[in-house]
Structures are given as structure tokens and as C-alpha cells.
Amino acid sequence: MKFFEHTFPIDPSSMTRWRNRIGEAGAEALLKETIEAGLKLKAVKLSQLARINVDTTVQEKDIRFPTDARLYDRARERLVKAAQARGIALRQNYNRISKHLVKQQSRYAHARQLKRAQGCTRKLKTFLGRVIRDIERKQSNLDDHFRSLLKTAQRILTQQRQDKQKVYSVHEPLVECISKGKAHKRYEFGCKVSVAATSRGGWFVGAKAIRGNPYDGHTLIEALSQVERIAGEAQHVFVDMGYRGHGYEGKAQVHVDKRRRGKTSRSLWRWMKRRAAIEPGIGHLKQEHRMDRNRLKGTEGDRINAILCAAGMNFRKLQRFAAAFLRRFLLLFPSDFYCWNYSFGCQRAYM
């Protein structure tokens, strides 16, 4: 925009409709176009696509850190709002009391007064159960959205500490708790993403969001099938020790990293040590391209966000390549550029 505008350039929901329209296949086509553009500009070489590094990371969802007290209060709050919107008169909504109890529970837990904190959590759980039973008594014919919300609240009410497939968010019940062994972050809440990048150049040729927190080795088949759709068949694939027992039987040779060289040839060992080059690439995906906090809804949102993050990374690398080419052109032919710039400025002044 040339001037300050008091309205949005587009409707905020238009991007949501666009993402839903293109889906995962359209996002993969966009990622494929970045690789083809790099080949046309000679920023990517065909030899680079022959060797691929594959690794997994966690794409965190945009949710609060789940605690029992907050989950009980959030589920009750959502049920109360949904009931009021549909004209259901509840016996009591517990809005005022629950707000005070959530604060008290946090203060007691911070002060290590755990029995008092557990007492506040039990009261919040009781309030949630009362609201659920009150809605079930007064309304039998529920719409799909309200029925899904009520089912999620019932799961939160009945789940125990050691249960599997727990609910960690009311608006995103499919979020999983994943532990990658990080010292600074023991648990991450989101979905596992398998990313693939070239060993040389760091161009991303695949990003696949996978539900269910599977073993890393079991994600290799889906990851390489996506790489084949985007950049063609790879000859060598380098993975870490978490991919032992992967079960892949395709044409590509899978090289699992190991601690010592042993009988491995020197050239292959160098390429195996290049596997660690994907780690900073994952860091750039998270810090600069929105993979650290996924705000798109549902499973489809996880898949689209992962692919668009990789496409954005490739777009930035293409921009840097074009800027470097322009700098080299200015150093080689400075007079031609100044003459062109002068004529262009005179033409604009004449117009």
C-alpha cells in the first residue's frame, strides 16, 4: 500500500478458505514449485537431490500448558457459553466461584501447599460434572458441535493420570503429548513432523505431519513417498539412530548413523556426518517460519502448516540467492546498472 489504510487489505477469513481449498495436495504443489524454481535459477543442482537427510521434530500447537484445574474450568466455561447461546437455562454456571478457585489453585501449587491445591482441583471437577449432568437432563436433541464439545468435556472429566490418548485442550482434543528427551522442555504438545532436506544446500523437499506419535523408523516410508512426489527419487537417505528397524524396502539406500566409522568408507562416512546439518534447518523452521506455534485448526491444519513452513524456508533461500546474484552483477557491471537506473528514473519523471 502506498498510503495508510483504515481497513484490512483482505478479509481475515479469506486465507482460511484458501488453505481449506488447496488442502495438503496444494501445499505440496507449492513446495514442489520452490524446488523447480531453484532448478531453473540454478540455485539447486540435480546432484543435491540425490542425497537426503530425514529427521523428525515436534510441531507444537497453540494451546496453554495443560493442568487438570485449567482443563476442568475451560471445559465448564465452554459448555456454559454453548448452553447460553442455545437458550438452555442451567441451574448454576459457577462462573464467579470457578474464577476464584483457579487462582487459588495456582497460588497453593506455587507455595507447595499441595493438599489445598488438590482440594481446589476437586471442586473444579465437581462443578464440571454438575454442568454436564444438568445439560444432559435439560437437552436431549443436541447439534453436532455441542455434542462433540460435550463428549470432550466428559473425556476430560473421566480421564486419569496414567491413561493413554488423553485430552490436553478443549478446542484441540487431538493434541498429543510428545517427549523428545530435551533437557529444557520435557514435554511438547502437538504432533510429530517428519522433515526431509538435501544434504548439501539444506533445501527442504518434504514435511509430513503424522498423527499418533509413532516410532521414528515407522515414519520413513511416508516421508520418502512425499519426497518422491516433490523432488523425485533419492539415491541415498541419511537418518539418525532413532530410525533403526525402519522397514523401508524401496530403491533408495538408507544409511543409519552410528557412533564409530568401522568398515564404512571415508566418502560415505563424510556424508553420514552431514546428517546433522538438518538440525539447524529445523531450528530455522521453528524460529523463523512458524513451526514452533501452529495456529491452524485440526489435523488438516497440522499438515498444511508443516508443508507451508518448508515452502517458506525455500522461498527465503531463493530470495537470498537472487540478492547475491544481483550483488555480483553490480560488482561486475556497475556502469550499466547506473545508466539503466538513470534512464528508468527519467522515464518515471516524464510519465
Q: 338 in a domain, yes or no?
A: no
Q: 98 in a domain, yes or no?
A: yes
pLDDT digits (tens, 9 = 90+) for 136-154: 998 878 889 999 999 999 9
pLDDT recorded at residue 341: 52
With a cut of 80, say whether residue 339 has pLDDT above it.
no
* Whether residue 272 sits in one domain with residue 188: yes
Q: At what angle do helices 144-158 and 114-138 cross, to 10 degrees?
A: 150
pLDDT band at 336 (very low <50, low <70, confident <90, very high): low
* Whether residue 186 sits in one domain with residue 48: yes
**pLDDT, averaged across the chain:** 91
Residue 208 sits at φ, ψ, to 5 deg, of: -125, 115
Q: 7 in a domain, yes or no?
A: no
Q: Contact, 228 vs 251, CB < 8 A?
A: no
Name the domain boundary from 125, 145, 171.
171
Q: What's the CA dihedral at 169, 175, 176, 181 to 10 degrees?
A: -90
Cβ–Cβ contacts within 10 Å for residue 294, how many?
24
pLDDT band at 342 (very low <50, low <70, confident <90, very high): very low
Number of domains in the chain: 2
pLDDT digits (tens, 9 = 90+) for 72-83: 999 999 999 999
Name the domain boundary from 128, 154, 171.
171
Q: 95 in a domain, yes or no?
A: yes
pLDDT recorded at residue 338: 53
* Whether residue 115 sits in one domain with residue 26: no
Q: Contact, 217 vs 243, CB < 8 A?
A: yes
* Whether residue 236 sits in one domain with residue 97: no
DSSP string, 167-216: ---SS-TT-EEE----SS-S-EEEEEEEEEEETTT--EEEEEEESS---G
* Whether residue 271 sits in one domain with residue 141: no
Range of the domain at 218: 20-63+177-321
Mean pLDDT of 159-170: 93
* Whether residue 190 sits in one domain with residue 119: no
pLDDT recorded at residue 250: 87
Mean pLDDT of 85-109: 95
With a cut of 50, say whether residue 350 has pLDDT above it.
no
d(CA 108, CA 110): 5
* Whether residue 316 sits in one domain with residue 201: yes
pLDDT recorded at residue 325: 83
d(CA 166, CA 75): 14
pLDDT digits (tens, 9 = 90+) for 253-302: 999 999 888 888 999 999 999 999 999 999 999 999 999 999 999 999 99
pLDDT recorded at residue 122: 97
Q: Which helix (H) or strand (E) holds 256?
A: strand 253-256
* Whether residue 218 sits in one domain with residue 164: no
Q: At what angle do helices 68-85 and 144-158 cross, to 10 degrees?
A: 160
* Whether residue 150 sits in one domain with residue 25: no
* Whether residue 87 sits in one domain with residue 49: no
With a cut of 50, say whether residue 55 has pLDDT above it.
yes
* Whether residue 54 sits in one domain with residue 77: no
With a cut of 90, say whether residue 188 has pLDDT above it.
yes
The residue that leads in pLDDT, 156 or 3, is 156
* Whether residue 59 sits in one domain with residue 189: yes
pLDDT digits (tens, 9 = 90+) for 204-231: 999 999 998 999 999 999 999 999 999 9
CATH value at residue 283: 3.30.420
CA atoms within 13 A on the CB side of 259: 0
